[in-house]
């Protein structure tokens, strides 16, 4: 174990140890990916909140396991208005499998994220998906490929990499490799605790042209609004959707921004093909940096 691993929760250490051992695919994949940014835009235009709904049968922080057919759950998420799906493929700690992902991606037409702990290039070839998660914290360590290597390798295969960060340092690394889709994980993988302030702290440093997700700990309509106000283009939600009626839960969270929905309706009435008004597009990215130089818009925080 190396020094930074020392600080991880025991469950996460165990996940990583098994992740290192997992084999890759037999041959190099060539994926024809469904565009995630385009799906986010279409959801916005329809006046709904872009939600990536996660098929997560269990996790180290959840009690029990959901045993329904994952394809049925995925269909309910799409019926409830999910923009994309996230499918756990990690078998030992999250009850996932590559087979689940393959079946789900065949059954729906929204983009699908492969949620796993990929640490070596060959592991990218285990199964096709539209998006693939790369967790900055676990890369550039002994026994893993670097974030830059995996990012490039994922792009070469046609995947859209989602780079997950939790600190400013990890965010800077994500921006350095040129990440176009970034997720801020509100859950600290050291303590497994969730704090929505994490997203609020990091979002002002993320350029507007990046598609930015708030991940973990979003449980209520109020949380959705809070993350949107802080600049989230989309939300990644697992537990709050998996717990109970999946379609109703997804519907409630994707319609959380009712004001926005009525504004979108007004706009489309008033200016049918003129696209969003400038006030609307700035509104959606409150608090975000304007361009790829990472200067935050709100200079107060620098003084």
Residues at the site binding ligand IGP, with contacts judged by CB under 6 A = 54, 56, 115, 135, 164, 185, 215-218, 236-240
Residue 259: active-site member: no
Which CB, 110 or 264, lies closer to ligand IGP? 110
Report, in Å, the least distance between residue 276 CB and ligand IGP. 28
Which CB, 132 or 175, lies closer to ligand IGP? 132
Please name every residue paired with 289 in a beta bridge, in sequence order, or none if there are none.
207
Of these residues, 59, 86, 100, 216, which one is catalytic?
Answer: 216
Burial class (CB in 10 A: 0-12, 13-18, 19+), 163: buried
Residue 285: active-site member: no
Report, in Å, the least distance between residue 281 CB and ligand IGP. 26
Of these residues, 54, 76, 128, 170, which one is catalytic?
Answer: 54
Which CB, 165 or 264, lies closer to ligand IGP? 165
Which CB, 130 or 215, lies closer to ligand IGP? 215
Residue 56: active-site member: yes
C-beta nearest to ligand IGP: residue: 238
Burial letters for 236-259: b for 16+ Cβ neighbours within 10 Å, e otherwise? bbbbbbbeeebbebbbbbbbbbee
CB 197 within 8 A of CB 216: no
Phi-psi region of 118 (alpha: psi -120 to 50; beta: other; left: phi over 0): beta
Burial class (CB in 10 A: 0-12, 13-18, 19+), 27: exposed
Of these residues, 76, 164, 247, 251, which one is catalytic?
Answer: 164
Taking the C-alpha atoms of residue 138 and residue 145, their distance in angstroms, rounded to an integer, is 10
Residue 141: active-site member: no
Taking the C-alpha atoms of residue 96 and residue 206, their distance in angstroms, rounded to an integer, is 31
Question: Tokens 């702990």, residue?
Answer: 117
CB 214 within 8 A of CB 198: no
Taking the C-alpha atoms of residue 140 and residue 144, their distance in angstroms, rounded to an integer, is 6
Radius of gyration of the chain (CA): 19
Residue 164: active-site member: yes
Report, in Å, the least distance between residue 172 CB and ligand IGP. 19
Residue 169: active-site member: no
Report, in Å, the least distance between residue 37 CB and ligand IGP. 19
Which CB, 90 or 130, lies closer to ligand IGP? 90
Report, in Å, the least distance between residue 227 CB and ligand IGP. 11
Residue 280: active-site member: no
Of these residues, 44, 115, 128, 285, which one is catalytic?
Answer: 115
Of these residues, 128, 170, 215, 251, which one is catalytic?
Answer: 215
Active site residues: 54, 56, 115, 164, 185, 215-216
């Amino acid at each position: 174990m190396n020094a930074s691993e020392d600080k991880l929760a025991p469950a996460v250490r165990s996940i990583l140890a098994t992740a290192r051992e997992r084999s890759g695919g037999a041959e190099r994949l060539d994926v024809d990916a469904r565009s995630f940014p385009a799906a986010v835009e279409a959801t916005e235009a329809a006046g709904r909140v872009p939600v990536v709904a996660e098929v997560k049968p269990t996790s180290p922080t959840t009690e029990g396991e959901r045993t329904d057919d994952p394809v049925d759950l995925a269909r309910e998420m799409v019926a409830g208005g999910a923009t994309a799906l996230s499918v756990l493929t990690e078998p030992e700690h999250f009850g996932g499998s590559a087979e689940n992902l393959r079946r789900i991606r065949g059954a729906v037409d929204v983009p699908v994220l492969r949620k796993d702990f990929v640490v070596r290039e060959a592991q990218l070839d285990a199964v096709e998906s539209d998006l693939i998660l790369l967790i900055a914290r676990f890369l550039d360590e002994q026994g893993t490929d670097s974030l830059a290597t995996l990012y490039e390798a994922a792009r070469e295969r046609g995947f859209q990499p989602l780079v997950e960060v939790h600190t400013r340092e990890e965010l800077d690394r994500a921006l350095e490799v040129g990440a176009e889709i970034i997720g801020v994980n509100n859950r600290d993988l050291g303590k497994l605790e969730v704090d929505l302030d994490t997203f609020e702290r990091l979002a002002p440093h993320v350029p507007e042209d990046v598609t930015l997700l708030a991940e973990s700990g979003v449980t209520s309509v109020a949380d959705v609004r809070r993350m949107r106000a802080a600049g989230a283009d989309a939300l990644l939600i697992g537990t709050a959707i998996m717990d109970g009626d999946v379609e109703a839960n997804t519907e409630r969270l994707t319609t959380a921004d009712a004001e926005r929905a009525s504004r979108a309706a007004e706009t489309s009435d008033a200016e049918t093909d003129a696209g969003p008004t400038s006030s609307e597009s700035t509104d959606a990215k409150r608090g975000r940096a304007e361009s790829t130089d990472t200067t935050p818009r709100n200079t107060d925080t620098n003084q």
